[in-house]
């Protein structure tokens, strides 16, 4: 009940935030151009905050669904094992039931009172004294096993019903997230009126870079070029004043610079399947972490920053790089869909894409996550510690 209430509240808050944000633009239509942009920025901020809340709810549901599916699989295996054992003991069950039926028709007391020699009566009494408790114990064990089987079946049915409800709630969350992504993209386009060639230039960077550090260096240089263009396009900014700093209105006001003492958020709701330094599929030490998650699971930004690169790159496939400041970058590979564009600012927990779809609902997919400082890989797990734990300095792989 508590889980249902929490999920329902999150969905309601997200939907309400969308509705209120949608009203902000018409209300500002009668104001001056500056006020109009302020309204757009305020709406964008509301949509981002609602997206973070809803993505958190979606990942909670994904973790719950994963746990339920694992529990269902375990219960189903247990039930199948017990059913096989019961099937294999059919002959023994028949013997026990037959003996009990005979005892019901001819109780031990009647057999002992039947006319027979004293020695025979004594022998019969001894045999019955030994047989009756044994048959009764076997009958009780059989009854307990059948009841246990029925209990497991009832648990499976309850888990299946709970799983169906969670999947419905997750579908609603994903639908709202898709609507928020569309609105978020449109708002950023209206505020910045940026060019449509950014993605093309990013792909070109991927073909020119020789390795990840080189790609990060080129992406940083491209980001500085975009900032210069943004200053030039800013109202009232002359080309002669390019050096004058101009604030990107889409940049979150409370954006944090990277701090190794602040824990990173896991990009997906899943489990670590390969750790930093462990051998990968090619036998080389892994330079990041691999997470196993449900298909189509939400992927979120692990920390505040700016999307510096989105596109294919060598053996990584399509990757997404976020610059966090201070020489720190995170790299994500294995996404089935990317919901972020080069140059966009993101906050920790903001949805930036989704894992690939899978044919089976209980099948898992993997995402690869690197954290780099000055282009060199460091162990992300050190920053995924609990918030109460003290996180020490990162170990840099030289």
Distances (CA, A) of 283 to 277, 280, 287, 386: 11, 5, 12, 30
**Residue 206's Cα: distance from chain center in Å?**
28
Res. 241: pLDDT tops 50: no
Mean pLDDT of 4-22: 55
Give the chain's domains with CATH numbers: 1-193 (1.10.287), 197-398 (2.70.70.10)
Mean pLDDT taken over the chain: 77
Return the pLDDT at 233: 65
Rounded-to-integer distance, Cα 125 and Cα 113, Å: 10
Return the pLDDT at 76: 82
User: Which residues fall within 8 angstroms of residue 381, CB to CB, at 6 or more apart?
Assistant: 272, 275, 276, 289
Q: What is the pLDDT confidence band of residue 64, given thresholds at 50, 70 and 90?
A: very high
pTM higher than 0.85 for the full model? no
Q: What is the pLDDT confidence band of residue 349, given thresholds at 50, 70 and 90?
A: very high
Q: Which residue has better confidence, 72 or 236? A: 72
Q: What is the pLDDT confidence band of residue 31, given thresholds at 50, 70 and 90?
A: very low
Return the pLDDT at 239: 47
User: Which residues fall within 8 angstroms of residue 55, CB to CB, at 6 or more apart?
Assistant: 177, 298, 300, 349, 350, 351
Res. 360: pLDDT tops 60: yes
Return the pLDDT at 329: 96
User: Which residues fall within 8 angstroms of residue 253, CB to CB, at 6 or more apart?
Assistant: 45
Q: Tell me how crowded residue 282 is: count the other CB atoms within 10 A of its CB.
A: 7
Res. 70: pLDDT tops 80: yes
Nearest to 267 by CA among 345, 359, 179, 346: 346
What digits encode the pLDDT tens for the residues 73-95? 888 888 787 777 666 666 665 55
What digits encode the pLDDT tens for the residues 108-157? 555 444 554 554 444 444 444 545 565 566 666 667 777 787 888 888 88
Return the pLDDT at 242: 44
Mean pLDDT of 351-358: 92
User: Which residues fall within 8 angstroms of residue 245, CB to CB, at 6 or more apart?
Assistant: 231
Return the pLDDT at 258: 92
Return the pLDDT at 54: 96
Show the 3-state SS of the chain: CHHHHHHHHHHHHHHHHHHHHHHHHHHHCCCCHHHHHHHHHHHHHHHHHHHHHHHHHHHHHHHHHHHHHHHHHHHHHHHHHHHHHHHHCHHHHHHHHHHHHHHHHCCHHHHHHCCCCHHHHHHHHHHHHHHHHHHHHHHHHHHHHHHHHHHHHHHHHHHHHHHHHHHHHHHHHHHHHHHHHHHHHHHHHHHHCCCCCHHHHHHHHHHHCCCHHHHHHHHHHHHHHHHHHHHHHCCCCCHHHCCCCCCCCCCCCCCCCCCCCCCCCCCCCEEEEECCCCECCCCCECCCEEEEEECCCEEECCCCEEEEEEEECHHHCEEEEEEEECCEEEEEECCCEECCCCCCEECCCCEEEECCCCCCCCCEEEEEEEEEECCEEECHHHHCCCCCCCCCCCCECC
Nearest to 331 by CA among 371, 298, 304, 295: 371
Distances (CA, A) of 294 to 76, 189, 228, 372: 20, 32, 41, 26
Return the pLDDT at 147: 77
Q: Tell me how crowded residue 164 is: count the other CB atoms within 10 A of its CB.
A: 11
């Amino acid at each position: 009940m508590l889980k249902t209430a929490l999920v329902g509240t999150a969905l309601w808050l997200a939907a309400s935030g969308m509705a209120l944000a949608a009203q902000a633009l018409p209300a500002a239509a009668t104001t001056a151009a500056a006020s109009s942009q302020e309204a757009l920025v305020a709406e964008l901020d509301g949509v981002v905050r609602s997206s973070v809340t809803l993505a958190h709810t979606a990942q909670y549901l994904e973790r719950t669904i994963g746990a339920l599916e694992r529990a269902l699989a375990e219960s189903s295996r247990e039930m199948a094992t017990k059913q096989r054992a019961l099937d294999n003991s059919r002959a023994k069950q028949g013997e026990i039931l037959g003996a009990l039926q005979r005892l019901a028709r001819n109780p031990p007391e009647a057999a002992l009172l039947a006319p027979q020699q004293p020695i025979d009566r004594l022998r019969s009494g001894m045999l019955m004294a030994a047989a009756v408790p044994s048959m009764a114990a076997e009958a009780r064990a059989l009854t307990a096993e059948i009841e246990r089987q029925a209990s497991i079946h009832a648990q499976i049915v309850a888990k299946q019903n709970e799983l169906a409800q969670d999947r419905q709630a997750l579908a609603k969350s994903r639908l709202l997230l898709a609507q928020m992504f569309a609105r978020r993209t449109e708002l950023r386009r209206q505020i910045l009126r940026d060019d449509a060639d950014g993605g093309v230039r990013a792909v070109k960077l991927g073909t020119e870079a020789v390795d990840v550090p080189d790609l990060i260096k080129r992406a940083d240089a491209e980001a500085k070029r975009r900032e210069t263009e943004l200053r030039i396009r800013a109202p009232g900014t002359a080309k002669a004043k390019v050096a004058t700093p101009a604030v990107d209105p889409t940049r979150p006001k409370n954006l944090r610079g990277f701090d190794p003492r602040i824990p990173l958020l896991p990009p997906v709701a899943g489990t670590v399947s390969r750790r930093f330094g462990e051998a990968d599929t090619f036998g080389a030490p892994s330079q990041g972490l691999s997470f196993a998650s449900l298909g189509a699971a939400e992927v979120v930004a692990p920390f505040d920053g700016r999307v510096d690169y989105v596109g294919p790159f060598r053996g990584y496939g399509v990757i997404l790089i976020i610059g966090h400041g201070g020489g720190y970058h995170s790299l994500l590979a294995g996404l089935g869909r990317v919901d972020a564009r080069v140059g966009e600012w993101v906050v920790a927990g903001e949805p930036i894409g989704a894992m690939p779809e899978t044919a089976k609902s209980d099948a898992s997919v993997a995402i690869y996550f690197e954290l780099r400082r000055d282009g060199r890989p460091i162990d992300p797990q050190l920053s995924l510690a609990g918030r109460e734990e003290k996180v020490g300095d990162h170990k840099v792989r030289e």
